[in-house]
Amino acid sequence: MSSLLTVRGLAVAVGGRTVVRGLDLELGAGERLAILGRNGAGKTTLLHTLAGLREPAAGRIDLCGADLAQTPPRLVAQLRGVLLQQQVDAFPASVLETALIGRHPWLKRWAWESAADARIARAALAAVDLAGFAARDVQTLSGGERQRLAIATLLTQQPRLALLDEPLSHLDLNHQIAALQLLSRTAEETGTALVMVMHDPGLAARYCDRALLVHGDGRVESGSAAAMLTAERLSALYQHPLRMVETDGQRCFLPL
């Protein structure tokens, strides 16, 4: 199995503070990695670094076997997609148009979106339960609807590696599960690798194979979800005592 994302000796600094030091990581097709940590621990900064949106302080990142820093941006955008933490729309645009921007890296300079591109976008909208919303103005969407649209845009991009910053934010309970099931199904069927910043260790245990704990002082721990997501480690990570409860083979974590 060839590695989609290879990280060697990565250090990430923000505002002169090193938040991640000596990170080694290898992610193959279809693998799902959860990133957990306290607010301000550097999860988003790490995700942006992995996406090539900011420079690492040290170390090297390979995307699909090639140095990320040397890969042209358009090619990078064909390989990896990013779900940003916030979606801000300064101008009106339709929902379908917004999903279609995911096709941008695949279109030649003078090309217009084809019927096939529109089919991909419509399928993605249907997958996030926005099938009837194609003509709606994005500025009229609710927070949760806008978040699902952002997920649809990412699916329309069809990247081999998807980096998602809090994919569940603004989503109600049923859409949280639906989104995680959709992403997991995409990983299984298309071999897309997932890296997700998450806040619920229970959902991370259920929907991810691996976990990366970011402590914020430079220390990181990574391993299988089963090994990483324990009451002891998570209590240390969040600096708040947690208890693990197992029901029907699923882990839940209760803050005490």
Which residues lie near other proteins (CB under 8 A)? 51, 53, 73-78, 81-82, 84, 87-94, 96-98, 100-102, 104-105, 107, 109-110, 112-113, 118, 137, 140, 157
Name 151's Cβ contacts closer than 8 Å, sequence gap at least 6: 83, 128, 164, 167, 179, 182, 183
Query: Can you read off the two tokens belonging to residue 124?
Result: 């993605």
If the CB atoms of residues 61 and 96 are measured against other proteins, the closer one turns out to be: 96
Tell me the three state secondary structure of residue 178: helix
The least distance separating other proteins from the CB of residue 163, rounded to whole angstroms, comes to: 9
Long-range contacts, stretch 89-92, CB < 8 angstroms, 24+ apart:
89/138, 89/139, 89/146, 92/137, 92/138, 92/139
If the CB atoms of residues 54 and 206 are measured against other proteins, the closer one turns out to be: 54
Neighbours of 191 (CB within 10 A): 14
If the CB atoms of residues 28 and 92 are measured against other proteins, the closer one turns out to be: 92
The least distance separating other proteins from the CB of residue 86, rounded to whole angstroms, comes to: 9
The least distance separating other proteins from the CB of residue 104, rounded to whole angstroms, comes to: 5
Distance CA(212)–CA(125), nearest Å, equals: 30
If the CB atoms of residues 78 and 147 are measured against other proteins, the closer one turns out to be: 78
**Which residues sit opposite 62 in a β-bridge?**
6, 67
If the CB atoms of residues 99 and 211 are measured against other proteins, the closer one turns out to be: 99
Neighbours of 75 (CB within 10 A): 13
The least distance separating other proteins from the CB of residue 138, rounded to whole angstroms, comes to: 9
The least distance separating other proteins from the CB of residue 240, rounded to whole angstroms, comes to: 31
